[in-house]
């Protein structure tokens, strides 16, 4: 296997990644790569190891063994901050959007733009406000009138869209979505899936976790099936129906 060539095309590669708690192995020798502009869905029963895998890639957990390669380089994340610095952004179901802050504040949280004023570095509010609005419009949030609106005014799907637009703006290379649509209406799910399509078009790699096979099948380029911590199979788009997939998991 020519790993060098493979690494150049992939945004993230897991090589023989395992995680054990004492004697109990919850993830065993998982090898999986994800390319730029590709959506890989990760499915499996409760306790299969999906969140464990996500936490390893997003820097919350260290693997017990195995290697993680991001953008062609082997990495060892000691914290989620380090993973973010490598362009890995994770969006959870109960994500870090703060309702009582404005949209633009949420958009730039922790990554604020600054300008010089009388020799001081002050927040560049007007730049952040206009960029935020522009980006949200790019992602089809037509209902947003002002970047000063509170994030609490957004629906669940719109919040997910805000988080994804933010990841795209800050040039993340890998976007991890752990059950992003679990509590959304059909219409909102469609919005999030449209947003994922847009992010894919912009070249992000996307790791998508969802329990609902009807959600997974239309968005995923490949579907990785985990079973008790082991990668059981990886299927390509069009190879299985949602019903087949549900059977496979049963
Ligand atoms: N800190 C821990 N100590 C021991 N076992 C753990 C720990 N964290 C997770 N596990 C175990 O690891 C296994 C995988 O858990 P994980 O959360 O990755 O599953 P999952 O596929 O995300 O499940 P779900 O679909 O329910 O979210 C489970 O059996 C869980 O009990
Ligand atoms: Mg989980």
Q: Which of 51, 57, 90, 228, when mutated, tests ligand 1's pocket best, judged by the most ligand atoms within 8 Å of its CB?
A: 51
Question: In the structure, what pLDDT confidence band is assigned to residue 187 with cuts at 50, 70 and 90?
Answer: confident
Over residues 214-243, the mean pLDDT reads 93
Averaged over 4-25, what is the pLDDT? 82
Which residue is closest in CA terms to ligand 1's atom 5? 21
What are the tens digits of pLDDT across the range 69-115? 998 899 999 998 899 899 998 887 666 688 899 999 999 988 899 99
Q: Which of 22, 23, 26 should be mutated for ligand 1, with most atoms under 8 A from CB?
A: 26
Higher per-residue confidence, 131 vs 186: 131
Cβ contact 29:17 at 8 Å: yes
The predicted pLDDT at position 11 comes to 94
E strands, the chain, are: 10-21, 24-35, 39-43, 65-70, 73-75, 88-92, 114-117, 120-123, 174-178, 205-209, 222-227, 230-236
Tell me which ligand sits closest to the C-alpha of residue 53: 1
Taking CA atoms only, the protein residue closest to ligand 1 atom 7 is 21
19 lines ligand 1 (CB under 6 A): no
Maximum average pLDDT range among 3-7, 13-17, 82-86, 161-165: 13-17
Assigned token pair, 112: 């604020």
Residue 6 above 50 pLDDT? no
Q: What is the pLDDT of residue 5?
A: 43
What is the Rg, in whole angstroms, of the alpha carbon atoms belonging to the chain?
Answer: 19
* 24 Cα: distance to centroid of ligand 2 (angstroms): 17
Measuring from atom 11 of ligand 1, which residue has the nearest CA? 26
Ordered structural domains, the chain, with CATH: 3-96+172-249 (3.40.50.300), 98-153 (no CATH)
* Cα within 13 Å of Cα(68), Cβ side: 23
Angle at 173 between CA 165 and CA 7, to 5 degrees: 165
Tens of pLDDT, residue by residue over 125-174, are 999 999 999 999 988 888 899 999 999 998 888 888 888 888 889 888 99
Contact criterion met (CB below 8 Å) for 34 and 11? yes
Threshold 0.85, pTM exceeds: yes
**How far, in Å, CA of 188 to CA of 190, rounded?**
5
> What is the per-residue pLDDT across 195-225, written as a single tens digit (0 to 9) for each?
899 999 989 999 999 988 989 999 999 999 9
């Amino acid at each position: 296997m020519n790993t060098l060539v493979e690494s150049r095309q992939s945004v993230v590669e897991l090589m023989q990644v395992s995680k054990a708690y004492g004697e109990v192995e919850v993830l065993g020798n998982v090898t999986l790569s994800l390319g730029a502009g590709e959506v890989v869905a990760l499915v499996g029963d409760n306790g299969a190891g999906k969140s464990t895998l996500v936490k390893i890639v997003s820097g919350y957990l260290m693997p017990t063994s195995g290697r993680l390669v991001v953008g062609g380089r082997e990495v060892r994340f000691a914290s989620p901050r380090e993973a973010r610095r490598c362009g890995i952004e994770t969006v959870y179901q109960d994500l870090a959007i703060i309702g009582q802050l404005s949209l633009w504040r949420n958009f730039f949280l922790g990554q604020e733009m600054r300008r010089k004023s009388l020799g001081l570095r002050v927040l560049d509010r007007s730049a952040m406000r206009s960029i935020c609005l522009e980006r949200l419009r790019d992602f089809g949030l037509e209902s947003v009138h002002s970047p000063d609106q509170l994030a609490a005014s957004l629906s669940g799907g719109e919040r997910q869209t805000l988080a994804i637009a933010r990841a795209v703006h800050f040039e993340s290379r890998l976007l991890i979505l752990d059950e992003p649509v679990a509590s959304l209406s059909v219409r909102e799910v469609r919005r999030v899936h449209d947003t994922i399509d847009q992010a894919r078009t912009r070249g992000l790699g996307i790791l998508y976790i969802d329990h609902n096979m009807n959600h997974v099948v239309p968005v995923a380029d490949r579907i990785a099936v985990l079973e008790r911590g082991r990668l059981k199979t990886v299927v390509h788009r069009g190879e299985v129906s949602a019903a087949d997939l549900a059977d496979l998991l049963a």
